[in-house]
């Protein structure tokens, strides 16, 4: 399997960790993983309620 497939199968480890497990991975091998990028995003905040028992979201 490709390094990207190993990345997906092993739970999305970083490239340095993959290289530690599989030293034969080429040094130029890097990839963009959509799941990892989305996991680094922060959530937007919701507006604060103006009075008690307001609908929050």
pTM of the predicted structure, to 2 decimals: 0.65
Q: In terms of Cα–Cα distance, which of 1, 27, 8, 5 is closest to 16?
A: 27
The answer on pLDDT for 36 being more than 90 is yes
Paired tokens of 53: 């028992």
Cα maximum dimension of the chain: 61
Sequence spans of domains, the chain: 3-37
Return the pLDDT at 56: 63
- Asked if 25 and 3 count as a contact pair (C-beta separation under 8 A), the reply is yes
Return the pLDDT at 57: 57
12-33: pLDDT as tens digits? 999 899 989 999 888 777 788 9
Q: Give, in degrees to the nearest 5, the angle at Cα 43 between 35 and 56.
A: 140
10 or 44, greater pLDDT: 10
Place 9 in a pLDDT band, splitting at 50, 70 and 90: very high
Distance CA 48, CA 21 (A): 47
């Amino acid at each position: 399997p490709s390094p990207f497939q190993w990345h997906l199968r092993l739970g999305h480890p970083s490239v340095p960790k993959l290289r530690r497990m599989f030293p034969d991975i080429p040094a130029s091998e890097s990839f963009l993983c959509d799941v990892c990028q989305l996991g680094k995003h922060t959530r937007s905040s919701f507006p604060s309620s103006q009075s008690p028992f307001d609908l929050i979201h």
